A and B are shown apart, each in its own frame.
Chain A
Amino acid sequence: MNLLKNLLHTTILGLSLTISLGASAKDSFVFTAIPDQDESQLRERFDKVAVYLSKELGVDVEYIPVKSYAAAVTAFRNDQVQLAWFGGLSGVRARSLVDRSEAIAQGFEDPFFETYFIAHASTGLKNSVDFPREMLGKTFTFGSKGSTSGRLMPEYHIRQQFDKAPQDIFSKVGFSGNHSKTIALVQSGAYEVGAVNFQVWKKDLAAGKIDTDKVSIIWTTPSYPDYQWTIRGDVDQRWSAGFKKKVTKALLDMKDKDLLASFPRSSFIPASNSDYDTILNMAKEIKLID
């Protein structure tokens, strides 16, 4: 009978589903990164990093791409990745969710990170030292909702200046998703003003992707600490004693110009959790973290 046959098949399906899930658990050292710019670039960058780490650590290292900042934090929290290249805010969030997790390395440029406010030429806004309050009433796009340079910093300074929420200052507020997209949206005029990670801006400018007749920098934030590598506290138990030290050393010893340029960072330097206390406090102040 047709139905019985189908029922049988479904039972087999259920069983095999369980089996395949059990079999998929394997013991590579897995890392991820926040998807802050064009994904194909990220994949190229981190696949190279995986090869490098694998060689240095002597274990299988795998990079898994994720679609959102929150997914990166969640994967770290759920121990589905053990190492992550976080931004300031996502790192603070991740470490508050995972006991004994640690920031171990940051880019040479990261202690002095900046956000550029950029505007479309039609706004008439020009680069200024003072905060350009003329952006009042314009349309504005952040980067990802969970970004430090694209969300936390711009929102913090906007609130400081106007003492109001962004929705009450701009005629429209959007979240582009990532920094490359923010530049593209302001350049196309979809939004008049936006906030973008200065490194991505410089990289895209050098790559000839930005038409400076259409979009330009109008303000630069004071500097702040941003990206860092964060590792879970339990990796030593899981792999070997001193594993965390080995990972840290491998990151700090990364000398390959090509590899570093893909970040883009000139080198990696030591980092600690307390380096990001300012980020935590700012996030609390604008209620992004309870």
Chain B
Amino acid sequence: MRLPTAYCAAILIFFTRLKSLSTFPTARTVSLGFVVVAVGCLVFADLSITTLDPWTEMKRMGMGFVTPNFFAVTNIGKVMIQTIAFAMCGVALGAFFGFFLAQVFHIALVRWSCAFVRAIHELFWALILLQILGLTPLTGVLAIAIPYAGICAKVYAETLEESQPAVLQVLPAGSGIVSIFFFARLPDVWVHIKNYTSYRFECGLRSSAVLGFIGLPTMGFYLETAFSEGNYSEAAALLLLFYGLIASLRFWLKPRLLGFYLVAAPFLLGEGASIRFDNVIRFFTSDIVPAPLRDHDLALTQTWSSFADWLQMLLIDQALPGIIATLLLTQIALVCTGFLTLALFPLISDKFFGKLGRTIGQLLLIVLRSTPEFILAYIFLQLWGPSMLPAIVALSLHNGAIIAHLIGRYSQSLVLRADSPKGFNLYGYEILPRVYGQFLAFLFYRWEVIMRETAILGILGIATLGFFIDSAMADIRLDRAILLILITAILNIFIDSLSRYFRSHLRLSQQIESS
């Protein structure tokens, strides 16, 4: 325990001390540094495969996937529609509020609030909201809408800030602010905002599906049941339908139909219990107040000393080991994601493969990036037993596929000389050096996302912060859960600021379409 603590502390101090260097290290040194740190983390990480015979289960799973049973889930159509409806309502609300927040994003309080709400993962939001609103459609919708509002606000604000349309120069004096906004600024960035929002919707579908794992009536609900009972044919059918949903997005998510979808979606969320206002009040005035302070006389020193014990117990026995496991796992997963990206992106690039090869590559990447990392980790945990290994593999595959997709597309746009080398030489001496800056930018951008995901994987039993949050929730100790969620959020904001710092010092492009 002491060694990994010291190691993690050293990493964090090292990262923050980089600021004092007179010349910032090169991209090569930084990359190497991250690899060395990750190798160090491996020493402390538990990577064992505990199942005695993982192959039997893997064979059963494989069999399930070649024999999908689409009739196993009753009401599969309804389940899919609900999954879409939750995503639709959540993303629409998130984008709507995000858009307005983006207009006042220069206010520090707004910026910080947005950073804070997006530092908390949808699943944690859902766990909190379950306590306040119970198993109601609103819980699922808000669990998506709240963090997405924070994310959209940031991206929209950055987009607006970077646009300097020439038309601004020729506007007549005295043009109103509102007119300028709608007729000059917005049209300039509209396409970008539209693309980003539709990408967000794809993320929303994944979030919506995953929310089923904690009880909302989306596809995850049935996936969890199917996997945990070993009904792999049913699980396969659900996953294939989910891939289908995402792959066919561009055929059914048409701007013309959007209005119709948005109006219909709230009615398709399904029924839930009624919301009682006294539950909401109780949550804020009693549940989240630390137990030693609740109903105790705050004037007594006794109260405060038991509060100090409570705080110490929570910080030393839970938060600290949770933070260490989260950091170790994050750093390993980040570097593995990087390596996997470099191996995967040529699969979809016309510089390396023909049409057939690229189609297969695309298919592989779609499957990997469409499967939420939470579900991937769940599958690997079933196969290998609980250690950091399933989490590392899941995070790397999912995030690696996302970045590989972006880098692959970017590499297509490169223009080569007629006498450029082929194969490995082309990869090593030309393409890789030319895409490396983009690659690092995407990877650093993903750093904070990977950390957020690492934390929630604790719900599955890996001892990251999420494990302790889930335990507190299981004991209905919301005061503890909330404090641990706050700590997770602060850690996330810290990683986010480090990532921004690295990106700006390595002069990596800030303009990134996706997150």
Question: Across the interface, do A189 and B53 meet the contact criterion of CB distance under 8 Å?
Answer: yes
- Within B172-223, which residues are at the interface with A (CB < 8 Å)? 182, 186, 190, 213-215, 221
- Select which of A9, A19, A75, A180 is within 8 A of B259 by beta carbon: A9
- Does B40 touch A at the CB level, under 8 Å? no
Question: Across the interface, do A188 and B52 meet the contact criterion of CB distance under 8 Å?
Answer: yes
Residues of B within 8 A of A39 (CB): 225, 228-229
Question: Across the interface, do A290 and B213 meet the contact criterion of CB distance under 8 Å?
Answer: no
Given A78-B276, A145-B474; A71-B92 close (CB under 8 Å):
no
Chain A nearest CB: distance from B183 CB in Å? 9
- Does B165 touch A at the CB level, under 8 Å? no
Given A10-B96, A39-B225; A17-B474 close (CB under 8 Å):
no
Given A13-B93, A71-B214, A175-B461; A78-B476 close (CB under 8 Å):
no
Question: Across the interface, do A13 and B89 meet the contact criterion of CB distance under 8 Å?
Answer: yes
Residues of B within 8 A of A64 (CB): 135, 273
Question: Across the interface, do A191 and B50 meet the contact criterion of CB distance under 8 Å?
Answer: yes
Question: Across the interface, do A14 and B263 meet the contact criterion of CB distance under 8 Å?
Answer: no
Closest to A43 in B: B225
Complex Cα distance, B278 from A11, in Å, reads 27
- Does B484 touch A at the CB level, under 8 Å? no
Complex Cα distance, B474 from A289, in Å, reads 11
Residues of A within 8 A of B89 (CB): 13, 17
Complex Cα distance, B471 from A69, in Å, reads 11
- Select which of A21, A78, A80, A144 is within 8 A of B138 by beta carbon: A21
For chain A, which range describes its interface: under 10, 10 to 19, 20 to 34, or 35 or more residues?
35 or more
- Does B428 touch A at the CB level, under 8 Å? no
Chain B nearest CB: distance from A120 CB in Å? 8
Tally of A-B Cβ pairs under 8 angstroms: 153
Chain B nearest CB: distance from A101 CB in Å? 14
Given A3-B190, A75-B273, A188-B51; A145-B471 close (CB under 8 Å):
yes
Question: Across the interface, do A67 and B221 meet the contact criterion of CB distance under 8 Å?
Answer: yes
- Within B87-103, which residues are at the interface with A (CB < 8 Å)? 89, 92-93, 96
Residues 161-191 of chain A, each 1 if its beta carbon lies under 8 Å from chain B, else 0: 0000000000010110110110011001111
Given A10-B262, A24-B274, A172-B50; A80-B135 close (CB under 8 Å):
yes
- Does A146 touch B at the CB level, under 8 Å? yes
Complex Cα distance, B435 from A106, in Å, reads 66
Beyond A24-B271, A188-B52, 12 additional contacts (C-beta under 8 Å) are A13-B262, A17-B141, A21-B136, A24-B274, A25-B274, A39-B225, A80-B135, A174-B461, A180-B229, A185-B385, A189-B53, A290-B477
Those 4 A-B pairs whose CB atoms lie nearest each other, nearest first: A189-B52, A25-B274, A80-B273, A145-B474
- Residues of B bordering A, CB below 8 Å: 50-53, 56-57, 89, 92-93, 96, 130-131, 134-138, 141, 182, 186, 190, 213-215, 221, 224-225, 228-230, 255, 258-259, 262-263, 265-267, 269, 271-276, 279, 291, 385-386, 461, 470-471, 473-477
22 contacts between A and B (CB under 8 A): A1-B182, A2-B255, A6-B258, A13-B93, A14-B96, A20-B266, A20-B267, A21-B275, A38-B228, A64-B135, A64-B273, A67-B213, A70-B474, A70-B475, A73-B476, A77-B476, A79-B276, A80-B136, A80-B274, A122-B52, A145-B470, A181-B228
